């Protein structure tokens, strides 16, 4: 199955792409996806994960435009065609 992953803010800069397709399997969770993306884009890792490997609590996550809290990622599975949007906080003023 395939997911669409969108990156915003500094994550977009770090990954050098606004969005990309990612091959995935239905038995793997959102938390595993975020860990996978942190490996795939080393420069994006600090915006996704803390030093201990936990998902940053201030990372905004949406699946098909519905908000998902970081602490729900372990229990969240993904389906073919899901759009996962990752938005680290921004504060430019």
Partner 1 sequence: MEDTGQRSELDAAERNRYEWQLWVPDFGEAGQRRLKEATVLVSRIGGVGGTAALQLAAAGIGKLILAHGGELRLNDLNRQLLMTTDWIGKPRVESARRRLRELNPHVEIETIEANIDEGNAADLIGRADLVVSAAPLFAERLAMNRAAVQLGKPLVDCAMYDLEGRLTTVLPGRTPCLACLYPEPPPHWKREFPVFSAVSSTVGSLAAMEAIKVLAGFGEPLASRLLVFDLRNPCFETLPLRRRPDCPVCGPISRPAP
Structure tokens at 87: 């938005």
4 lies in the binding site for partner 1 (CB under 8 A): no
Q: Which listed residue (15, 35, 49, 85) binds partner 1 by CB under 8 A? A: 85
- What phi and psi, each to the nearest 5 degrees, are found at residue 87? -130, 95
Backbone angles phi, psi at 88, to 5 degrees: -65, 150
CA angle 29, 69, 54 (to 5 degrees): 65
Q: Is the Cβ of residue 33 or residue 48 nearer to partner 1 in the bound state? A: 48
Q: How near is the Cβ of 25 to partner 1 at its closest, in Å?
A: 26
- In the list 1, 42, 54, 69, the residue contacting partner 1 (rule: CB under 8 A) is 69
């Amino acid at each position: 199955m395939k997911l669409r992953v969108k990156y915003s803010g500094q994550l977009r800069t770090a990954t050098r792409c606004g969005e990309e397709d990612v091959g995935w399997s239905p038995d793997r969770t959102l938390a595993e996806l975020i860990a996978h993306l942190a490996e795939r884009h080393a420069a994006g890792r600090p915006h996704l994960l803390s030093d201990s490997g936990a998902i940053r609590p201030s990372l905004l996550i949406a699946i098909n435009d519905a908000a998902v809290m970081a602490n729900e990622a372990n229990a969240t599975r993904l389906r073919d065609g899901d759009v996962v949007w990752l938005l680290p906080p921004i504060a430019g003023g």
